[in-house]
């Protein structure tokens, strides 16, 4: 079964995302509203990917991703960034916080980016693409193992 971690400090949004993924995909979805919770849940077993709010109050998104990837022993663990800031707006801004956030997003190396507010349809499309990439990699590894 696919296990997903949702790190979103807005408890209502976190709940909606988690419930939607459980109902729609029948996945095991873990919810964290803080970086500390995310780190604890990352120790609980393998994750297929992470949905991460780029602004979580108790830590930087890049440090959360670094820690989760380290705990998962997977430097390529797919990350879907969720942010109220569109990447184009960040790139065009001269504000120091926008530049810091843009650098943070680049450092993460995300598989996808969701701009808040997003529809459940957009969420579904995004996670399906990321999950399909995971499945494709798993299939390629299985094929490689049978050939060698």
- Residue 106's alpha-carbon distances to 41, 91, 139, in angstroms, are 24, 11, 28
Phi and psi at residue 64, to the nearest 5°: -65, -45
Q: pLDDT tens for residues 78-94?
A: 999 998 776 666 666 66
* Residue 3 pLDDT: 96
Both tokens of 94, joined, read: 């001269």
The pLDDT, as a whole number, for residue 94 is: 67
pLDDT tens digits, 97-138: 666 667 777 778 889 989 999 999 999 999 999 998 875 544
Question: Of 7 and 89, which is predicted with more confidence?
Answer: 7
Q: In what order do the strands lie in the sheet with 49-53?
A: 28-32, 3-7, 49-53, 79-83, 112-115
Query: What pLDDT, on a 0 to 100 scale, did the predictor assign at position 55?
Result: 82
96 — pLDDT class (breaks 50, 70, 90) = low
Q: Mean pLDDT of all residues in the chain?
A: 85
Q: Which domains, from first to last, does the chain contain?
A: 3-147 (3.40.50.2300)
Please report the DSSP string for the chain in residue order: --EEEEE-S-HHHHHHHHHHHHHHH--EEEEESSHHHHHHHHTTS--SEEEEESEETTEEHHHHHHHHHHHHT-TT--EEEEESS-HHHHHH---HHHHHHHHHHHHHT-SEEEESS--HHHHHHHHHHHHHHHHHHHHHHHHHHHH-
């Amino acid at each position: 079964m696919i296990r997903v971690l949702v790190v979103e400090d807005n408890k209502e949004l976190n709940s909606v995302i988690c419930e939607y993924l459980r109902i729609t995909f029948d996945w095991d979805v873990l919810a964290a509203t803080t970086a500390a919770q995310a780190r604890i849940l990352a120790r609980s077993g393998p994750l297929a990917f992470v949905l991460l709010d780029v602004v979580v109050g108790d830590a930087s998104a890049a440090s959360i991703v670094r820690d989760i990837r380290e705990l998962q022993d997977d430097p390529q663990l797919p990350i879907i960034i969720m942010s109220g800031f569109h990447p184009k707006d960040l790139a065009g801004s001269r504000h120091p916080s926008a530049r810091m956030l843009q650098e943070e997003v680049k450092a993460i190396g995300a598989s996808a980016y969701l701009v808040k507010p997003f529809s459940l349809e957009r969420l579904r499309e995004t996670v399906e693409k990321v999950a399909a990439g995971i499945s494709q990699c798993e299939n390629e590894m299985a094929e490689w193992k049978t050939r060698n």
